[in-house]
Amino acid sequence: MKLRLMMAMLAVTAASMMLASATGAGEKKTVEKKKVAKGDLSINDELKDTDNKDKRRTQSFCKTYKFKMGEGKTYQIDMKSKDFDSYLRLEDSDGKEVAFDDDGGGFPDARMVYKAPKGGDYTICATTFGGNSTGKFTLTVKDLQGKEPDAIPKQEFKFPPPPPFKKGSDAKPIVLEADKAQSAEKQDELTNTDAKYNGSKLHKLYTFAMEKGKAYRIDHSSKDFDAYLYLEDPDGNVVDQNDDNGESLDSRIIYAADKTGVYRIIATSLGGNRTGKFTLSVRPASAEDSKAAALRKKVNQLYSASPEAQKETVKEAVQFLQDKGKKLGRTDIQLAMQIAQTLDITKNDKVAAEAMKEFAPLFAQASDPTIAAQSKLLEGIGRRLNLAGSEMDIKGKTIGGKDFDLKNLKGKVVLVDFWATWCGPCVGEIPNIKKAYEKYNKDGFEVIGVSLDFGLDNLKKFVAKEQLPWDSIYDGDAKRGEGIADHYGVLSIPFAVLIGRDGRVLSTRARGEELTRLLDEQLGKK
């Protein structure tokens, strides 16, 4: 399971739909608006590296679509692609994000299902989970008309191999001559007359001689646009690229040369069509920069690493963060979260929990208060990853107005279901939970939901309509860092925890066939 909250929410009327430009975090462009037919529709489109970046998923290209939503109607929105991992977001008429989803349609497709609480102009943002991904996709809207969402097909998906990198610039190269300190700096400007990299991005092309085994730091900064860098080796292969350096919208590449030769540096902008002045500099990487680059390379390889290698990489990461002391920044928290995410996907919960336990106190002492605040999140993630065999502390007021304490259900088998009515996979799991409840409730099976809905009224209406026989605690209004979901670092729903009669966690993946298997094991007739 990927560590991010799978939010699925959307509704539209059968009115006309407007195709709008992709609007990113900083750059904007104007495109022609097109009318789309009423009712169910399907749009074939393509994300390109000339599109702007999404304002939330700032490393991902984005297309946005404006449409009018009708109060009370429920629609299903699907984004499918064979080229990348789809990601959907929804914004209301005030520009506030009210939903997002990654794999609600079954990996790698995104789906949002939503009953609109009010009418108005909304925006759907079609983007990707992985940064800098491009390719074709299909966006569909279907009026459910009181029916259940389409079943999610089981599928084995493999991304196609990336296309071979090719030299993408026919611009006249500008030679950067190294000084005695092996450094070079150039003040320059992107103009509308510059050549286009890969046929799409205005750029300047530079060459710089590098020696095998030495690490170099390349910085591209501008006050006029969001900087972007590509680095090609002597054979013309793109060996690295970067958007934001973790400190600002400027870009930075730290690279240890694999071979001696003349490397090509492409200085451009994020959207590719921006112009303005900039500064490009190349210098030997510091020992700290080189160490950071080497560590990030290992972290990028965690998914395929052995458990022993994963543990060793975590050990190196802890030492790296300790050495930085109070100077921890945004790139460091990103590194910690990437480690947690990868280890969670590979189900190496023990090592992941140990990593979060080590990371949390390190970030707590950061001089930047926004970074220090992330320590609570890391603590929660560690607590969640360490749940197996432990007791959970779940207390609160149910939507029925009753005080709830999980400890009072000791002696029963309990499913703690973190969910929301806007979450497609959560709603899709309800029939399975109902079936299990009807079969085993008399034998001591109970369910308590922990709802992350945006409003209590919507939750109550849904529970009444679906006639759910179990209660839920509403966690949606909890202050940041103080809710049940925050306490356990729940970043992705559905998150289903099954607890045994002794009050200890049996499984943190108790959904679908796994829930059925566990209940048969715990409560089935002998």
| Cβ within 8 Å of residue 458, ≥6 positions away | 115, 117, 421
Task: Indicate whether 3 belongs to any domain.
Answer: no
Provide the CATH number for the domain around residue 425. Answer: 3.40.30.10
CA distance 11 to 32: 24
CA dihedral 332, 333, 338, 341 (to 10 degrees): 160
One domain, residues 333 and 254: no
Alpha-carbon distance of 284 to 290, in angstroms, equals: 9
247 with 332, same domain: the answer is no
Q: Is position 426 within any domain?
A: yes
2 part of a folded domain: no
So what's the pLDDT on residue 160? 54
pLDDT of residue 157: 53
**Domain with 74 in it: what CATH number?**
2.60.120.380
Q: At what angle do helices 307-324 and 330-345 cross, to 10 degrees?
A: 160
- Among 104, 126, 143, the domain-final residue is 143
Strands 174-175 and 201-210, bridge-based pairing:
parallel
Indicate the residue among 233, 253, 285 that finishes a domain: 285
pTM beyond cutoff 0.85: no
Cβ contacts of 316 within 8 Å, gap of 6 or more: 295, 298
- Residue 159's pLDDT is 52
Q: Which of 418, 412, 406, 383 is nearest to 509 (CA)?
A: 418
Interstrand relation of 174-175 and 86-91 (parallel, antiparallel or unpaired): unpaired
Six token digits for residue 33: 């608006």
Residues 222, 320: one domain? no
Residues 370 and 299 in one domain: yes
Q: Which residues pair with 418 in a beta bridge?
A: 450, 495
Q: Do 135 and 111 fall into the same domain?
A: yes
Q: Judge if 400 and 517 occupy the same domain.
A: yes
Overall domain count for the chain: 4
The DSSP-derived string for 202-251 is EEEEEEEEE-TT-EEEEEEE-SSS-EEEEEE-TTS-EEEEES--SSSS-E
* Amino acid identity, position 14: A
Tell whether 366 and 416 lie within a shared domain.
no
User: Would you say residue 462 lies in a domain?
Assistant: yes
Do 48 and 25 share a structural domain? yes
Q: Does residue 5 fall inside a structural domain?
A: no
Does 374 map to a domain? yes
Give yes or no: residues 218 and 100 share one domain.
Answer: no
Tell whether 189 and 219 lie within a shared domain.
Answer: yes
In order along its 526 residues, the chain shows pLDDT tens digits of: 333 333 333 332 222 233 333 333 333 333 333 333 345 778 999 999 888 888 878 778 999 988 777 787 777 889 999 888 899 988 888 777 777 888 788 778 899 887 778 877 878 899 998 777 889 999 988 877 777 777 776 655 555 554 444 457 888 999 999 999 999 999 999 999 999 998 889 999 999 999 998 999 999 999 999 999 999 999 988 888 888 775 678 999 999 898 999 999 999 998 888 999 999 999 999 988 888 888 888 887 888 888 899 999 999 999 999 999 999 988 888 888 888 888 887 878 888 888 899 999 999 999 989 889 888 889 999 899 889 899 999 999 999 889 999 999 999 999 999 999 988 889 989 999 999 999 999 999 999 999 998 888 889 999 999 899 999 999 877 666 678 998 998 888 899 999 999 999 999 989 999 999 999 999 975 4
What CA–CA distance (Å, rounded) separates 201 from 199? 6
What would you report as the CA-atom Rg of the chain, rounded to the nearest whole angstrom? 25
| Domain assignment of residue 158, yes or no | no
Cβ(283)–Cβ(268) under 8 Å?
no
Whether residues 256 and 307 share a domain: the answer is no
- Domain final residue, candidates 143, 161, 192: 143
Same domain, 23 and 108: yes
In a domain, 198, yes or no: yes
What is the domain range of residue 515?
395-523
